């Protein structure tokens, strides 16, 4: 029997979880748990790289932890980055195996620092923002992850992680780190219901995303008012983006029967938008009801669940400590207990 492959991914503790996040990323994480050794981190150290509010950060970390459990992430897989200080320690070591030039080419840094310049009155750009991909490499390599399920926007960071691993291996003369691979699972991209030409996202405003824990009435209302035909429909028998989005939602929810029946109507020119919308909102309402029930149960045992999350972080920490011990040995640092 072959050993299970290790999967790692992380998410920043910001705001709420919407169906775009769920179908586009988190659902895939949940599914991967069936046959992989999974690690999923809430990366609060990363969330400090841009201006932030300390109380809100702590609140967001716990909110996200409960949200992830409610949608199906296992407790044993979940950790909170700052509870495992070995990440930052390995991050420092990796700083010394990463070239300044490589970091300067990261487009996320360029984009975010430009954004900071525009939105922050002081134009403050932290060194942490620049160094962020090195900490990300530590997050990944400390568990010797084989696969990292992330979106295309993280390709450059993953490539940097591999470059660090390779330089480390060369530097210490041993193939110690496995080079992690990006796992680009084809996951459905959910568009904004208010403007189906753009991705569902929080940054565009309330109308543009549906929280997975939203009230039933709100979900129904939002799908009811979803844009279907826009002025600039593609024509030549092509489906308009708003209609496609509703089909994608139904398919992503797993109700192929409803999807196929409506698609047949569409092909025959007999599709009623109201039916399509009803089917899409029924799926989201059903999913959301399960998530809300799970979350309610978790929140009823809030203290106990928080303890379990701390416990799983401490168990996962053991793996991180083992790697760090070996890394220190390999790169000439002392490994003595004080």
Query: Which positions touch ligand TRP (CB under 6 A)?
Result: 8-10, 12, 43, 46, 136, 139-140, 148, 150, 154, 157
What's the closest the beta carbon of residue 183 comes to ligand TRP, in angstroms? 10
Residue 43 Cβ vs ligand TRP, minimum distance, rounded to whole Å: 4
Active-site residue identified among 5, 199, 295, 306: 199
Comparison of 150 and 191: residue with beta carbon closer to ligand TRP:
150
Record the tokens describing residue 62, joined without a space. 């716990």
Contacts 24+ apart (CB under 8 A), 131-134: 131/91, 131/95, 131/103, 132/46, 132/49, 132/108, 133/103, 133/106, 133/108, 133/109, 133/157, 133/160, 133/161, 134/91, 134/94, 134/95, 134/98, 134/103, 134/160, 134/164
Of 91 and 241, nearer to ligand TRP (C-beta) is: 91
Which residue's CB is nearer to ligand TRP, number 154 or number 192? 154
> Cβ of residue 216: shortest distance to ligand TRP, in angstroms?
30
Closest CA to 18 of 280, 286, 207: 207
Least distance from ligand TRP to the Cβ atom of residue 87, Å:
9
Cross-strand partners of 49: none
Q: Active-site residue 328, yes or no?
A: no
Q: Which is nearer to ligand TRP, 65 or 148 (CB)?
A: 148
Spot the catalytic one: 5, 56, 75, 112.
112
Nearest one of 172, 266, 171 to 228, comparing CA atoms: 266
- Min dist. Cβ of residue 175 to ligand TRP (A): 21
**Is 202 a known active-site residue?**
yes
Nearer to ligand TRP, 87 or 259 (CB): 87
Burial pattern 168-194, b for ≥16 Cβ within 10 A else e, equals: bbeebeeebbeebebbeeebbebbbbb
Q: Is 224 a catalytic residue?
A: no
Q: Which residue is nearest to ligand TRP (CB)?
A: 10
Place of tokens 């890394």: 327
* Unique residue bearing structure tokens 């930052």: 88
Catalytic residue among 56, 75, 202, 292: 202
Instruction: Give the active site residues.
Output: 112, 199, 202
């Amino acid at each position: 029997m072959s050993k299970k492959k290790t999967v790692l991914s992380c998410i920043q503790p910001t705001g709420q979880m919407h169906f775009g996040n769920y179908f586009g990323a988190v659902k895939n994480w949940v599914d991967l748990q069936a046959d992989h050794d999974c690690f999923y981190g809430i990366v609060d150290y990363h969330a400090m790289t841009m201006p932030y509010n300390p109380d809100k950060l702590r609140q967001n970390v716990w909110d996200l932890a409960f949200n992830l459990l409610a949608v199906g992430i296992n407790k044993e897989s979940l950790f909170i980055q700052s509870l495992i200080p070995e990440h930052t320690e390995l991050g420092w070591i990796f700083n010394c195996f990463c070239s300044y030039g490589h970091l300067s080419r990261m487009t996320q840094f360029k984009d975010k620092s430009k954004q900071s310049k525009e939105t922050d009155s002081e134009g403050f750009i932290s060194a942490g923002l620049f160094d962020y991909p090195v900490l990300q490499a530590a997050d990944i390599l400390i568990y010797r992850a084989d696969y990292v399920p992330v979106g295309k926007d993280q390709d450059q960071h993953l490539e940097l992680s591999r470059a660090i691993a390779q330089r480390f291996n060369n530097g210490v003369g041993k193939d110690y780190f496995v080079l992690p691979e990006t796992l680009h699972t084809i996951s459905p991209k959910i568009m904004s219901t208010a403007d189906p030409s753009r991705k569902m996202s929080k940054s565009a405003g309330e109308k543009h995303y549906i929280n997975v824990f939203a009230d039933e009435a709100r979900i129904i209302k939002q799908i009811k008012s979803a844009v279907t035909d826009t002025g600039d429909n593609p024509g030549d028998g092509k489906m308009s983006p708003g209609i496609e989005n509703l089909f994608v939602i139904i398919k992503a929810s797993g109700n192929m029967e409803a999807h196929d029946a409506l698609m047949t109507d569409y092909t025959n020119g007999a599709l009623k938008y109201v039916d399509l919308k009803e089917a899409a909102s029924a799926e989201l309402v059903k999913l959301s009801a399960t998530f809300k029930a799970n979350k309610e149960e978790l929140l009823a045992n809030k203290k106990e669940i928080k303890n379990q999350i701390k416990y799983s972080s401490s168990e996962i920490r053991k793996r991180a400590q083992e790697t760090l011990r070996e890394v220190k040995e390999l790169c000439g640092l002392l490994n003595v207990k004080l």
